[in-house]
Structure 1
Amino acid sequence: MKKNKPTILVVNDDGITAPGIKALIYAMNDIGRVVVVAPDSPQSGMGHAITIGKPLRFDKEDLYEGIEMYKCSGTPVDCVKLAVNLVFKGKKPDLCVSGINHGLNNSINVLYSGTMSAAVEGAIESIPSIGFSLDDYTQQADFEPCVKYVKQIALQVLEHGLPTATLLNVNFPATPLKGIKICRQANAKWAEEFDERMDPHKRPYYWLTGVFQLNDQGEDTDVWALENGYVSVVPVQFDMTAHHAIPVLNSWKFND
C-alpha cells in the first residue's frame, strides 16, 4: 500500500455486521486505508445521542481480512468520538463516511438519523464527512449500484475538500440510477400517530406510525431527485443558527 493513500474512517448506525457497511468498507478500501468503528448492535433513529453515565465497551473485531475494525457498545456519535480519541489519537483521518444506511435520510429525517449524526460528528471534528443512505429497509438490499457513486463522491471530497462546517447527505433511490443531483433539503415532515395496543395484562402500549407529508413542489429538492431516479446530494451544516431571523429578533423591544 502506498504511504500517501488517504485514511478513511467508516461508521454506521445499523451495526457492524450490517450489509450496508460491508459495501461501504469495500468501496472505500479501493481508495485508501480503511478503519471501521461501528456500533455492536443497530442504533437507528438515535440522532446525535451520546452515552453518559455508563461505561462504553470498545473491542477489536476481525470480520473482513485486512480491515482494521472495532465495535462499540454506544451510539454512532460515540463511535466517531472513540475513533478520534482512541484509534487516531487526535490525528484526524482524511475522510469520514457513514452508512450505507438501510432507509432514506432525506428531508426532515436528517435530524433523527444516527447515520447522519455520525457524519455530523466527523464534520464537527473538522474531518470531511459524508453520510450515505439507500431507499431499501430489507436485509436483502442491493448496494452494488450505489458503489460507483459512493466512490465518485468520496474521491471528489478528498480532492476538493468541503466548505467549513459542511458535510454531505447522500441518498440513493431503489430504482435504476440516472446520475447525481445537487439538491436542497425538501420541506417535508412526518405526521405522526401512535397506535395504541394492549398487552396480555391489559396495559396499553404504543407503536409509532405516521404519514410522510411533502409540503414542497420544488424540482431542486432531495425528495424530487429521489422520486425521479437521481442520487440526491445535499450539503448540510451543523450550525443551526437561523441567520435570517437575527434582524427580526433585533427589532423586538426588550426591557433593560
Structure 2
Amino acid sequence: MDTAKPLILITNDDGVSAPGLRALIAVMAEIGDVLVVAPDKPQSGMGHAITTNNTLYLNKLSKDDDAIQEYSCSGTPVDCVKLAVNEILKRKPDLCVSGVNHGSNSSINVIYSGTMSAAVEAGIEGIPAIGFSLLDYDWNADFETMKPFIRKISLEVLENSLPKGVVLNVNFPKLAKENINGIKICRQAKARWMEKFDKRKTPQGRDYYWLAGEFVNQDKGEDTDEWALANGYISVVPVQFDLTAHHAAQELNTWKWNE
C-alpha cells in the first residue's frame, strides 16, 4: 500500500456482498488505499456486540496483488474492526467508514446500529470514523446520488480530523441529487420505537414472536437529524462514546451517599 495515500478501513453490518458496501468501496478507492473487512452475513441490529463464546474466522476474498484487499468475517461489525486493526493492518488507518447502511440510523436507531457501532469501535481505537446510512431499505437502492457527498464528507474528515472521542453519524434522505438541500450538522432527535410483538405458534404448539413496532418522533426541534432528513438535508450528528451523564454528576453529588 502507498504510504503517501490515506489508509481507509471499510466495514458494514449488511454483509460483505451488500450494494451499499460496494458503493462505499467505489468512493474510497478514489481517495486512498482500501482494506475491507465486513461480516460474511447480515448483522443488522447487533449494536456493539462482540464474539466471546464462539470462534472467529477471516476469509480472504481478494488476491495479494489486488488493489483492494477484502476479507469477510464470521463475527459482528465490531469484531471486523477489532480484527482489522489488531490482525491485518500494519499501521492504524487514517479513516474508518462504515456502511452504506440499507435503512435509517438516525435518532435512537444509533443505539441499535451495527453500522454505527463499527464506527464507534474505530473511534475508541483513535481512528477518525464515519457511519453512512441511506433511508431506503431496498437491497437495490440507488446509491449514486450519495457518492459525491460521501466523498466530500470523508475528505473533510481526513483534512480536519475529528474532535477527540467523536465519530460522525451521517444519514441520507431518499431523494434525487437535485432535491437535496445540503449537509446539516444536527443533534440526535428525541424519538423512540413503540414496540409490539406479533405472537404466533409453531406447528408443535410453541409460542414464538416477531418484533414489530412504530417509530415515534417526539421532538419538534428544527435542529435534529429527523427534521433535517424530512426537509431534504443530509444529517450529520457528532456522536460520542463517553456515556457518562456529566450533567447529572452535580446533582448526584448532593445525595447522602456516605452517611
TM-score per shorter chain, which class?
over 0.9
Q: Determine whether 1:88 maps to 2:89.
A: yes
Q: Could you tell me how far 1:62 is from its partner in structure 2?
A: 2.7
The 5 Å alignment of 1:73-152 reads 73-89=74-90, 91-152=91-152
Normalized against structure 2, the TM-score is what? 0.96
The amino acid that maps onto 1:209 is A
1:211-226 pair list within 5 angstroms: 211-226=214-229
% identical aligned pairs? 63
> How far apart in 2 are the matches of 1:2 and 1:38?
22
| Secondary structure class of the residue paired with 2:214 | strand
Cα deviation, 1:134-192, whole Å, max 9, x if unaligned, reads 01111110001011110000000000000000000000011232210100000000010
Please show how residues 1-256 of structure 1 align to structure 2 within 5 Å.
Answer: 3-62=3-62, 66-89=67-90, 91-176=91-176, 177-256=180-259
- Give, in whole Å, the separation in 1 of the partners of 2:148 and 2:258: 59
The separation in 2 between residues aligned to 1:161 and 1:131, in whole angstroms, is 15
Distance 2:87 2:21 in 1: 21
**Normalized against structure 1, the TM-score is what?**
0.97
| Partner AA of 2:79 in structure 1 | D
SS at match of 1:98: strand
Equivalences, count: 255
Deviation string, structure 1 residues 33-86 (Cα, Å, up to 9, x no partner): 0100000000000000000021100111139x6210011000000000000011
Q: Structure 2: how far apart are the matches of 1:191 and 1:43?
A: 22
CA RMSD of aligned residues (A): 1.4
Q: What residue identity is the alignment partner of 2:254? A: S
Gaps of 5+ in 1: none
Following the alignment from structure 1 to structure 2, what is the Cα–Cα distance between the partners of residues 139 and 206? 25
The alpha carbon displacement at 1:205 in A equals 0.8
Q: Which runs of 5+ in 2 are unaligned?
A: none
Stretches of 4+ aligned residues off by more than 3 angstroms: none
CA deviation string 1:75-122 (max 9, x = no partner):
000000000011114x21000000000000000000000000000000
